[in-house]
Amino acid sequence: MKRSESKKMIETSFQHLARKTLKKKLVQRVIDLALIPIAILLLFTRYILKIKFFRVPGGRFGHLAMNQELFLRRQQLGLIPEKGIKYIGLVPASVCNQQLVTMLKRKLTIIQFPQPRFLRTITKIMAEKSILSKWDLFVTFPYDVGYFPTFHEAKPSLSFTEEEEQEGRELLQKMNITSWFVSLHVRDSVYVSQILKRGDSRYTYRNSSIENFILAADYLTKQGAHVVRMGAKVQEKMPEQHNQKIIDYSTLYRTELGDVYLPAKCRFFLGTGSGVASIAEMFNVPTILTNMIPLSPLIPSGQVAHFPPGKNDLFIPKKIWSVEKKRHLTFKEEIAFDHNCSFDTEDYEKKGLVPIENTPEEILAVAQEMNQRLNDTWRSTGEDEELQRKFKALFKQGSNDYQFSARLGARFLRENKHLLE
């Protein structure tokens, strides 16, 4: 290709991007102008009536749970700056889990009303990308990266009524669970594909296979546990096997109360980053996140923290294979990539980066570590502590993504200490 042709292509691409950006800004300006009457009304309700409205994202389990839980924990700690303000939440009549909304209503004033798709879209724009959100008049509570201390210092906000406890016990009895149990959930494309118009194509790098968790599940049952596989909709059924203590709750026993009750009551949670994991986290249940990706929580939108929040939590990340370098990225290289991408599958494809799922043996090792820690039989070595220190030193001290207290699985870190270089 001639240099002049290449230059022309670059200029054309730049012009297309400039036009697209300008169009977006013009649309945003038109929306803001149309919302001025609503802004005036909300200014009155906030400063005269002392009422502030917020949007409750009802379509995604994790955001329905954690956005509100973080706000409630900040209220516990006196971290909400506005005193005397009454918060009123707006949520669609149809949500991903009505049981969770019912529990939230005991702590927050929440109004449910029918919201067709177009109205949900408009409400989201108003609460996140309009003059109303900029003026802090109508917002979505953030699920932000600076929330780790909040979890350490505050207690879970929600609880079950005696009737709900009884229903939960009956569910356990129905599944023949007579001892302690572990909740297991592995993210796949089915659930998100059915609730998002664009499907799951942007986030497929986050998915994993249930097959890789069977070895760990078998180990846990030999330790006396039942393992409950969760998920509202799942792509793969549990593989056929003769271990009756591994229960496919998602296809045989699922209820909306069970979706909240089981992660809240299990001895620990094992799985991948998902809305179900958020339920365990909001009840301070020890959590293992495997296949964690991205590695760094400091993302451009500042809306999602990927490390589990608890002091007793463990995680192991997906390693990233570089086709160009013919090796795995180091942790430092992976963090640098995370800070400069939008977290679409396309970002990885463009850079020739292939996320590698954790192996059954890696998942088994971190499950063994959690079980031994809870039994008080785990013993860290001096090398383990030094490797943990080196890993955390990869993050900027004092920054939001330095505050996590969860530990990287010890065996995974020992076997991959070369990635610390």
Q: Which residue has the higher pLDDT, 220 or 238?
A: 220
Q: Has residue 27 been placed in a domain? A: no
Q: Please check whether residues 139 and 276 belong to one and the same domain.
A: no
Q: Has residue 155 been placed in a domain? A: no
pLDDT tens-digit profile of 358-408?
999 999 999 999 999 999 999 999 999 999 999 999 887 655 556 788 999
Choosing from 143, 173, 197, the residue where a domain stops is 143
Q: How many CB atoms lie within 10 A of CB 149?
A: 14
The answer to whether 277 and 185 are in contact (CB under 8 A) is yes
Going from the C-alpha of 217 to that of each of 177, 232, 287, the distances in angstroms are 15, 20, 15
Q: Please check whether residues 328 and 232 belong to one and the same domain.
A: yes
Q: Has residue 153 been placed in a domain? A: no
Give the pLDDT mean for 123-137: 92
The domain tally of the chain equals: 2
Q: Please check whether residues 230 and 329 belong to one and the same domain.
A: yes
Q: Which residues contact 15 (CB under 8 A, 6 or more apart)?
A: none
pLDDT tens-digit profile of 256-304?
999 999 999 999 999 998 889 999 999 999 999 999 988 875 544 444 4
Q: Has residue 20 been placed in a domain? A: no
Q: Please check whether residues 102 and 169 belong to one and the same domain.
A: no
Q: Please check whether residues 120 and 76 belong to one and the same domain.
A: yes
Give the pLDDT mean for 108-115: 96
The β-bridge relationship of strands 327-328 and 86-92 is unpaired
* pLDDT grade for 1, boundaries at 50, 70 and 90: very low
Q: Please check whether residues 81 and 225 belong to one and the same domain.
A: no
Q: Has residue 95 been placed in a domain? A: yes
Q: Has residue 11 been placed in a domain? A: no
pTM of the predicted model as reported, rounded to 2 decimal places: 0.87
Q: Where is mean pLDDT largest: 149-163, 201-215, 325-339, 354-368?
A: 354-368
CATH (domain of 374): 3.40.50.2000
Q: Which domain holds residue 100?
A: 37-143
Tokens in use for 43?
């200014």
CA gyration radius for the chain? 23
The answer to whether 74 and 155 are in contact (CB under 8 A) is no
CATH (domain of 129): 3.40.50
